[in-house]
Amino acid sequence: MCGLLGLLTSDGSAGSAVDLLSKASHCMRHRGPDEPGTWHDDDLVLGFNRLSIIDIEHSHQPLRWGPPDNPDRYALVFNGEIYNYVEIRAELAADEGTAFRTEGDGEAIVAAFHHWGPDAVRRLRGMFAFAIWDTENRTLFLARDPFGIKPMFLATGPGGTAFGSEKKSLLELLDRLQLGTELDLRALEHYTELQYVPEPETAHASIRRLESGCHATLAPGQAPKVTRYFTPQFGVVPVTDATRQRRYDEIAEVLSDSVAKHMRADVTVGSFLSGGIDSTAIAALAIRHNPDLITFTTGFEREGYSEIDVAVESAEAIGARHIVKVVSESEFIDAIPQIVWYLDDPVADPALVPLYFVAAEARKHVKVVLSGEGADELFGGYTIYKEPLSLSAFDKMPAIMRRLAGKVSDRIPEGTRGKSLLHRGSLTLEERYYGNARSFDDARLQAVLRDYRPEWTHTDVTAPIYAMSEGWDPVARMQHLDLFTWLRGDILVKADKTTMANSLELRVPFLDPEVFAVAERLPYEEKIAHGTTKYALRKALEQIVPPHVLHRRKLGFPVPIRHWLAGSQMYGWAHQTIADSQTDHLFDKTVVLAMLDEHRDGVIDNSRRLWTVLIFMVWHAIFVEKTLVPQITDHTYPVKL
């Protein structure tokens, strides 16, 4: 796990940008504190911060590699891990006679690219964002993994194209690119509505993201030409009584294989462990490969907002050593500026704060952790996926009756039982489902935003995605939407940023192409069945996870901001943050302060809406106003742990 940065100039002046790029790269040193590196020629300068995981003594980056007649033809910078690199190296050596100089996975990428071209990315099992510069053809190839586990930011201007693992590094290069730092107001509206900035947008208009499952090719003076190489397809294969158990066995086998490959490292690998089935399954499979596995969890002192007891019981059941981090309210508040700085763009998910703390605790003991992200999207784990069943009666109604139900709902007072059911039943799936979180409805969004644009709605984001899944069953369509929105906009961003902030590599075995190849074939009834979610996965894990976890309902990660924002300490912090914020041109602060007082007085639960605005205000103070300067510690860790 590492941080990469590059600048492809449009005028052959890369040599003059080496010092600038080194400075810009320094602000993401947390991604790779073990070893910095730079390389340049006339057109391109590359910077790298390495977190040494595999082939620690070698595999330095930027990495040079080439065929025998031009052994330094390519230059590679690579963030991530390729879990089938051993197999790829063996195949290339046997079929192509490829000679390798290291024992690492970076060489496997560049050699695969040399022999197979851009299609090499389809052969990689792993998480990755990488750049390969071909010194012979003077072309740059950029690629990102299928699900968007690792980030890649892009900025193209008259001065060239910059790319990197962190947006804050690209901000340092905008002048060189002849680009400005204006905010993207459309992205702000999307963020306020959805709690994250959806890909490919960022909060800065001049910086975009290379989307998950895409690669790009460019040459000096050209804009990147982006190609999508992976589009998830839920192609259902019916299950019969004769094939049902075999399907469960397939899930268990492929997940076991994925965990085995994700354990490949020359350093110690641990595992996050909550009270849920996903992380418990990963830890239970991981301990088969490392009997000394250490697991980590976090929680809060407030009753009902901790899964520590269940996690401890799970660790005891599988035989793992377990470490707990309890986060206090004051710790939580104090860490917010640092965490927002690490995020690059605002993400209004309170769960990322405890995740940051458990990552810091884990880094004292291990250098790599496994985690359970992705299981819900692949196997149908979110409770809201049951909604099509509860609303099925509305699907049989004529359109005029559904519209009437919506009008009736509009007249029912807030909080009245049945109002939400009528409202959501009056809408089509495409209208009502936009992912796992929405902070503001249209009326509240219009009230809080100074420059509200009704045309900048969530359908900007969701409509093209829904168009890909026409004719699928509703659960598959919801899963597909979440893969492109909530997973890569929230779940994977917070996983990457909070762990990398602590120089800790996080690996997600569920988000493996081979696991997806099994999950994509599951029919509706193998996801939502018998009153539960992830039915097939639970059946597959019956002999793997402890019984007390197997059928435990999904809770998410409970964070007590609803209670804290109504109390004096966090209320005081929130009030001061709003009062000090120089965002009057973006938000109606009178409305925001009224929301805060309504929440404190128990009139209405505004906690998630308030959190969305507060996190943006902290972000704005750091990256725009520059009135808030977080204290970022330059930690030093052992190279091998």
Q: 415 vs 70, 410, 538, 603, 618, CA distance in Å?
A: 70, 12, 35, 11, 31
CA 590 to chain CA mean position, Å:
33
Q: Is 344 left (phi over 0), alpha (psi -120 to 50) or beta?
A: left
Show binding-site residues for ATP: 371-372
pLDDT in tens, 617-635: 999 999 999 999 999 887 7
Share of the chain above pLDDT 70, in %: 99
Q: How many CA atoms lie within 13 A of 294 on its CB side?
A: 18
Positions marked active-site = 2
CA dist 76 and 613 (Å) reads 40
Residue identified by tokens 């996190």 is 615
pLDDT in tens, 407-442: 888 888 877 887 888 888 888 899 889 987 778 888
Q: How confident is the model at residue 389 (pLDDT cuts 50, 70, 90)?
A: confident
Does residue 641 surpass a pLDDT of 90? no
pTM comes to 0.95
Residue length of the chain? 641
Ordered by start, the domain boundaries in the chain are 2-228
Q: 452 vs 199, 251, 455, CA distance in Å?
A: 20, 46, 9
Between 635 and 318, name the one with better pLDDT: 318
Task: Identify the DSSP state of 436.
Answer: S
pLDDT in tens, 162-172: 999 999 999 99
- pLDDT the model gives residue 557: 66
Show binding-site residues: 105, 371-372
Burial of 633 (0-12, 13-18, 19+ CB in 10 A): exposed
Does residue 545 surpass a pLDDT of 90? yes
Closest CA to 515 of 390, 420, 373: 373
CATH fit for domain 2-228, picks 3.80.30.20, 3.50.50.60, 1.10.150.120, 3.60.20.10: 3.60.20.10
Closest CA to 278 of 30, 640, 554, 602: 554
Task: Detail the DSSP E strand segments found in 207-256.
Answer: 208-209, 214-218, 225-228
Does residue 15 surpass a pLDDT of 90? yes
- pLDDT the model gives residue 329: 95
Does residue 104 surpass a pLDDT of 70? yes
CA dist 258 and 362 (Å) reads 22
Share of the chain above pLDDT 90, in %: 80
What tokens does 144 get? Answer: 């990102």
